[in-house]
């Protein structure tokens, strides 16, 4: 499964994508927490709070569809997750 990192998350992690092998159903929350553990602290802070909760401002898409329910079960057939923290600018 390909995890796409967008915006500041890609900058702080030093990569635009991470690959995870998912052999059995897992929740979206578990996958995001696993991904956060593998990233540098600055990138991890964009995904989760110090209490290990997913930030409510995080935009998540599963195979191109916006997803807000982190308890959603992902199957081994899921091909892509996109994670994008909020963007600021003007």
d(CA 55, CA 87): 14
Assigned domain for 89 exists: no
Q: What is the pLDDT of residue 89?
A: 55
Q: What is the mean pLDDT of residues 23-52?
A: 93
Assigned domain for 90 exists: no
Q: Domain of 55?
A: 2-84
Q: What is the pLDDT of residue 54?
A: 96
Q: What is the pLDDT of residue 23?
A: 79
CATH for 37 = 3.10.20.30
48-83 per-position pLDDT tens digit: 999 999 999 999 999 999 999 999 999 878 889 999
Count of Cβ atoms closer than 10 Å to residue 3 Cβ: 19
């Amino acid at each position: 499964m390909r995890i796409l990192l967008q915006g500041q998350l890609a900058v702080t992690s030093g990569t635009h994508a991470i690959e995870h092998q998912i052999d059995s159903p897992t929740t979206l929350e578990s996958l995001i927490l696993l991904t956060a553990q593998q990233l540098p602290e600055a990138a991890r802070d964009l995904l989760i709070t110090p209490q290990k909760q997913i930030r409510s401002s995080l935009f998540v898409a599963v195979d191109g569809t916006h997803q807000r329910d982190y308890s959603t079960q992902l199957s081994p057939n899921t091909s892509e997750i996109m994670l994008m923290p909020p963007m600021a600018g003007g």
